[in-house]
Each structure stands twice: as structure tokens, then as C-alpha cells.
Amino acid sequence: MNLRRTLTGALAAPLLLLPACGGGDPSGADRPIASAPPTSPSPTKPPKQESPEHFIRRWAAEDTRIQKTGDTSRFREMSKGCRGCLKLANLVDRIYSAGGFITTEGWRITRISASDSGSYDLFVNAAATTFAEKEGGQVHHLPSGPAHFQLRLKRNGSTWNVTYLVQIAA
């Protein structure tokens, strides 16, 4: 039993009832995405017509914010139908509701690229993370380091939704 399974196992049963991820809008792949400098600020509000890259940066900022604040509502709105995202949101909710904590500076995006299959590859440098699942519970340390995630997006009016999230082994 490793940490990933330990933490997610308790969430697995109810999540099996959720709809499967996938089915990203291929129209998102019709605009090539240039990688922005990793130091660019994370946008927090959508422009009138949001590009996939802008949305992914805003979503990644939310990913960090929910861990810092425990407020997962906006992240959930941006991730409708994304099973992996909901697992994270549920885990964060569970930690905060049990009196646990999460300390992290989150992700620093190093690259975003669109693939021919309509998915997006998100490369980040993740800051070290410390968390406890409940008040007074065992403290876990996750090291910093590079990570590669794959997302699929679906157009949602003038913006997007993440419908699928998976980490790709390095």
C-alpha cells in the first residue's frame, strides 16, 4: 500500500459512480500554443475569449490556491467531469474538514503544449509539499521536482473546462 493508493483509495468507491473523463473538444487543438515564460503571472480571471493556454494557467493557479485555502468551489467549476480533478478536490476538502493542513507553493509552469490528439501537456516544477490528513495527524512530505500532466479541455462558452487529468510518468 503506497501513499497514492492510501490517500486515493478511500475516495475511489464514490468516484467510480462519476462519469468518465475524456472527450475533450478537439477544436482546442486548432491553435498552436506557444510556451510562455515560466515567470509569467498566473491569470486569475478569464478574458472575453479565453485561449486554452490562458485557461490552463488559470486552472493551474487554482490547483495551487485550493491547497493553500481549502476552497475548492472554483476549481470544481473549472473541472466539471474531470475525475482526477475531483479526486484532488475531494482530498483537499477532506484534509481541511478534518483539521489537517497543506503547505505548498504549488506549481511553476515550465511548458504547455498541444498534442495532435487534442490533449494538452502541462509541464511543471512542483514545490515541496507538506501536509497532514487530519489535525494532529502524521505529517507527509512530498519533494519538489518536475512533473508532467496531461489534460483535455472542453469548450465552455467563452472559456474551457478540464475534462481529464492524468500524470505522465517521467
Which residues contact another protein by CB under 8 A? 1-8, 11-12, 16, 20-22, 63, 67, 83-85, 87-88, 91-92, 102, 104, 106-107, 115, 117, 119, 124, 126-127, 129, 131, 140-143, 145-147, 149-150, 164-170
Of all helices (H) and strands (E), which one includes residue 160? strand 159-168
Q: What is the largest CA-CA distance in the chain?
A: 49
Min CB(7)–another protein separation in Å:
6
Q: Specify the residue, 38 or 47, whose C-beta has the smaller distance to another protein.
A: 38
- Report the C-alpha gap between 19 and 129 in whole angstroms: 30
Tell me the Ramachandran region of residue 99: left when phi exceeds 0, alpha when psi lies from -120 to 50, beta otherwise. left
Q: Specify the residue, 88 or 112, whose C-beta has the smaller distance to another protein.
A: 88
CA atoms within 13 A on the CB side of 126: 20
Q: Specify the residue, 99 or 145, whose C-beta has the smaller distance to another protein.
A: 145
Min CB(158)–another protein separation in Å:
26
